[in-house]
Structure 1
Amino acid sequence: MTEPSGGSSDKPRRPVVVPVIALTALTAVGVTALLGGLGEAPDELDTLGAGAVLDQGQYDTKFVETRVTVVPPESEFQDEKRFLEMVFDVTNKGDETADVGLPAPKPEQAYLSAGFGASLLKITPAFGKDAGPFVFAQAKGGETRQLQPGVPARVIVRYQLQENQPPPEKVSFEVAGFEFSPDFNSDIPRWQMITSEVGDKFLPEVKARVTMTVKKGAAT
């Protein structure tokens, strides 16, 4: 601070004291900003692996495995295809048929769907747009896009690998949860993804982190 004109002082300047609480608050705000908002997974979440079972609210989900599947060509004019597959055993705990769903391109778009696939967030490594995802459930009659109430179903989330593209060693992703709560527009209760409002976005709250080692060499 500049001394008033015509005066001087030999007194040492007083250090500015910042309360510890204020520093802690500023640090917390900075960390929250770096993480991208309150919808991120808290650090204390354990990482689940193959064989783990998670209660997602609307779904009971077992993380079965991640594997490479080779699909033979349907004719001599076609080539075989290789897919990275994420395999789940899913039971719809609701009273109505649910959509299998798809992973959303961006986390802030995931809340628009109550389908199981939409709850899979931040899949790593990322795959190109042409690679998928292709998602379906296996049923007695073949493949289906529906999950019937109370009926366990095997759900496959599939990404196509390009020619000579090596599969990853591991696949990691985050998983959102669902709650049965009044609809924003009609107040009628329904299953919807649990989210936090961050600015003008609704970001899914992360319920679990999952990492699975990729098994290679499966064939259909």
Structure 2
Amino acid sequence: MARFIGTYLGPTLAERGLTTEIYLGTMSNTDSGKDGTVLSAVTGDATAMRYVKGFGLQWNMLSSVSGLRSRNLPIVQTEHKCGNYPWNPAGMPPFNASAAPNDHAYAEESWKLIRDWIQAGVTSYSAWNMVLDTAGKNLDSQRPWPQNALLTVDTGTKTLNVTPAYHVFRHVSEYVDPGALRVGTTGGDALAFKNPDGTIVTVLYNAGNAAKATTLGVAGKKLQFSIPAHGWATVNWK
């Protein structure tokens, strides 16, 4: 891969004056060592890295983010976990072979994944399935996998359903503008961003079984409000 990028792909794009950018990815598997080896080989090759403009990492590559941040290139999380995992049939919750759960538990799992990747330092985070039918099955006949999505369509009633995971993604994206920078937080389970216009967006999560009275301090000012049980609150501080 390093030789392909450095000797062929990169020089060809440059020679032809194309603005196409080369991203190394999407890398998906650290367990087998395959993608980790490719990542190491390319990043260790100065010629190849002259042409690489960013990295794409799937959900099994979180541990690789820290080592790439020194490159000062975009790091894109390219595939959010789809939930309802067929390789864990006895898990909690167990695998449902008939339909994707699209439940609140998956929304809470989604929050933790988004939070961890953003705190690790990725530039952007991508949902995998935007819209699926209610069953959500893939086309793999060997291992059918009903996957969760942000939106589902009931093909029988022809209605669009908004899933709990959609609201999680909305909490983290609605007021966070392109070019926003993550800012540090103390106390509680939260993410915060500073937009280019100076506004501060804070997303807070309450994992408890009861509503939680919360005090948020931003720029020397305080705001008090309640966060619902197993829920979120987003504050756009102008």
TM-score range, shorter chain: under 0.3
1 or 2 for the larger relative contact order (CA 8 Å, sep ≥6)?
A: 1
- TM-score, scaled relative to structure 1: 0.22
- TM-score, scaled relative to structure 2: 0.21
Higher strand share: 1
Q: For the pair shown, which has the larger CA radius of gyration, 1 or 2?
A: 1
Higher helix share: 2
